[in-house]
Amino acid sequence: MTDITRSRTVICRLDELDDPGSRGMTVTHGGQLHDVFVVRQGEQIFGYLNNCPHTGGPLDWVPDQFLSLDKGYVQCATHDALFQLHDGKCVAGPCKGDSLAAVPVSIEAGVVVVLMDRFFPGNK
């Protein structure tokens, strides 16, 4: 678990993520815990809350394993819903048409960071 004391929290170095690959972690912000994960696709990084829009449960089936076997989608461990990597939109499963809650992320000097202050503005 990482405590956010600034507007950014380091998740990992970009070269530590497979391409495509994913990594999850729990962060605290505003005194609350938030499970988040990032997905790498090429030189791009996408961040989401680790909550299925259908069940509210976590998406990963084992730690840091958010992707389908072909690594083309984020896949819910509960009901196999498939979400596009680049925008989190569900394209198959009971929540088709819904989307994952995006979390702002960036790559700074080769390091992947999550920007929770942009996700929860004014709540530090």
Residue 72 gets which letter from DSSP? S
Contact predicate 40/59, CB 8 Å? no
Q: Does domain 2-119 have CATH number 2.40.110.10?
A: no
**All structural domains of the chain with their residue ranges:** 2-119
Work out the burial of residue 82: count CB atoms within 10 Å of its CB; fewer than 13 is exposed, 13-18 middle, 19 or more buried.
middle
The reported pLDDT for the residue numbered 51 is: 95
| Spatial distance between the Cα atoms of 119 and 62, rounded to a whole number of angstroms | 26
pLDDT at res. 9: 85
Say what the pTM is: 0.87
Say which residue, 123 or 115, is predicted with more confidence.
115
The string of pLDDT tens digits covering residues 2-20 is: 444 456 788 999 999 999 9
Give the integer Cα–Cα distance in Å for 55 and 85.
19
